[in-house]
Amino acid sequence: MSIQSENIQKLVERREKARLGGGAKRVEAQHAKGKKTARERLALLLDPGSFEEYDMFVQHRCTNFGMEQSHTDGDGVVTGCGTIGGRPVYVFAQDFTVTGGSLSKTMSEKICKVQDMAIRNGAPCIGLNDSGGARIQEGIDALAGYGEIFERNILASGVVPQISCIMGPCAGGAVYSPALTDFTLMVKNTSYMFLTGPAVVKSVTGEVVNQEELGGASVHASKSGVTHFASETEEDAIATIKELIGYLPQNNLETAPFKETADPVNRVDDALNSIVPDNPNKAYDMYAVIKSIVDDGAFLEVHKEFAKNIIVGFAHMNGRSVGIVANQPAVLAGVLDIGASRKAARFVRFCDAFNIPLVTLVDVPGFLPGTQQEYGAIITNGAKLLYAYGEATVPKVTVTLRKGYGGAHIVMSCKQLRGDINYAWPSAQIAVMGADGAVNVLYAKEMKENPENAQAIFEEKKKEYEELFSNPYQAAQKGYIDDIIEPRNTRFRVIRALEQLAGKRQQIPAKKHDNLPL
């Protein structure tokens, strides 16, 4: 065998060994936990044959605690570039079979390299996290590595889409990279996120809690809102990433890809004409409205289990990606609270950063009252949503279906927050407050002075108030509503509005950056 052949054989063998990560036994242990390896996950995520790996032969440089005696090519993370649906993406997948996926300085350098390439070349960056945290043997070097990754998360924010999928442990400082990205996914029963683990919690607070209760997928999907998607399996999580990517542009200078549809633009739905109950206090399901007006009824909901009183997610309308924000009357009457405000504000800002038009469906009676909300800073959190809509320069189409009361009306993409096209259904009620509350404020003295006629006065003034405000016509007369539309035609009218706004150009005053009410 020639020297050249020997060299090639050595390369082939070394590649094969590198692809095994920590070795066959550790791969088996990973499978026994119901988890796939880093490369198996990437094979599911990327188009077949598209993956180009970088830094396969990188090894750690640690000489402490006997680490110099153990080296593995790749050093616990697989990095590179591939395609999803033919579109380039940059990826890294932590390999738990190598030192538990713990982060070394060289691992961070590999991750930073693909982050830099994603920013420079304008393509999404996707991280598959499965790591025991910082590699303790490397001390401050490992911490510095995290800092380098976080800085790139920050620099990439609003430039390219960033997606994190937690497929195992993610604890301590490691949680901040996913928190800085645009979307986080978790897998139920096999992934968890927390700053301090159960043992530390018990020693400091005395609270006894297990990993799943402290930071499992279901907890973060429903209680904290840390994760946007909670999937049953790794395959489901990866399928969600691929679906999500289909709604997003490559970067902030592009628009999302067009998706062909046979769904007619002028399709009408007569059911919408009767979906709003005659009783203003009766609920209906906003999902039915959303699925009626979007292409083929397809809607990718974000934060499905968190703050259910507001709905956010992606859809296509006449082939174009849109972000949907909608109050949900079936949960807490669609009222805005702290969680709903944060959830919607984050989503609106993402859509604005990546040129995705916003369609807002409004039925909101106000903000949730109470000491818990006030002490939790509902004022500041509500201002986040107001700020997000007010600064957004993408096309904004708003439809008020029923209630639009008080400050909540303003917050939900009203005309004064530079809403481009604002429609209302005939059932819309746009006012400072509902009729009952308004009459009790305006005529409290008169009713108190005439107790025997108080009920008659109340009914008379309520009817007067309803005739004035329990309809959209006064708002339309003043130009705050551009048109009152028949509900069955909502899909057509929204699509036509979006087409009119396709060339929209709007600037904000020059500034270093804004000061969002955090």
Place of tokens 């995705």: 356
Place of tokens 């409205």: 289
Q: For residue 116, what are the contacts with CB-CB under 8 A and spacing of at least 6?
A: 152
Six token digits for residue 342: 């944060």
- 3-state secondary structure (DSSP) of residue 84: strand
Q: How far apart are the first and last CA of the chain?
A: 67
Q: For residue 316, which phi and psi values (nearest 5 degrees)?
A: -115, 145
Six token digits for residue 78: 């697989």
Say how far apart CA 191 and CA 334 lie, in whole Å: 32
What is the 3 state secondary structure string of 209-268?
A: CCHHHHHEHHHHHHHHCCCCEEECCHHHHHHHHHHHHCCCCCCCCCCCCCCCCCCCCCCC
- Selected catalytic residue, list 408, 424, 428, 497: 408
CB distance 500 to 452 below 8 Å? no
Say how far apart CA 336 and CA 494 lie, in whole Å: 24
Residue type, 5: S
Say how far apart CA 303 and CA 313 lie, in whole Å: 8
CB distance 84 to 242 below 8 Å? yes
Say how far apart CA 377 and CA 316 lie, in whole Å: 35
CB distance 228 to 186 below 8 Å? no
- Selected catalytic residue, list 172, 197, 323, 334: 172
- 3-state secondary structure (DSSP) of residue 504: coil
CATH hierarchy code of domain 270-433+471-500: 3.90.226.10
Residue 128's DSSP bridge partners are 93, 165
- Selected catalytic residue, list 122, 158, 173, 246: 173
Cβ count within 10 A of residue 415? 18
CB distance 217 to 204 below 8 Å? no
Digitized pLDDT (tens) for each residue of the chain, 518 residues in all: 677 788 888 888 888 877 877 788 888 889 998 899 999 999 999 999 999 999 888 876 666 766 666 677 778 899 999 999 999 999 999 999 888 888 888 999 999 999 999 999 999 999 999 988 878 777 788 899 999 999 999 999 999 999 999 999 898 888 999 999 999 999 999 999 998 889 889 999 999 999 999 999 999 999 999 999 999 999 999 999 999 999 999 999 999 999 999 999 999 999 999 999 999 889 999 999 999 999 999 999 999 999 999 999 999 999 999 999 999 999 999 999 999 999 999 999 999 999 999 999 999 999 999 999 999 999 999 999 999 999 999 999 999 999 999 999 999 999 999 999 999 999 999 988 888 888 888 888 888 878 888 788 788 888 888 888 788 999 999 999 999 999 999 999 999 999 999 999 998 899 999 999 98
- Selected catalytic residue, list 283, 407, 437, 454: 407
**DSSP output for 1-36:** --HHHHHHHHHHHHHHHHHTTT-HHHHHHHHHTT--
Answer yes or no: 172 catalytic. yes
CATH hierarchy code of domain 3-245: 3.90.226.10
Q: Is 55 exposed, middle or buried (0-12, 13-18, 19+ CB in 10 A)?
A: buried
Query: For the chain, where do the domains classified as CATH 3.90.226.10 start and end?
Result: 3-245, 270-433+471-500
Predicted TM-score of the model (pTM): 0.94
Answer yes or no: 173 catalytic. yes
Six token digits for residue 392: 């957004």
Answer yes or no: 390 catalytic. no
- 3-state secondary structure (DSSP) of residue 186: strand
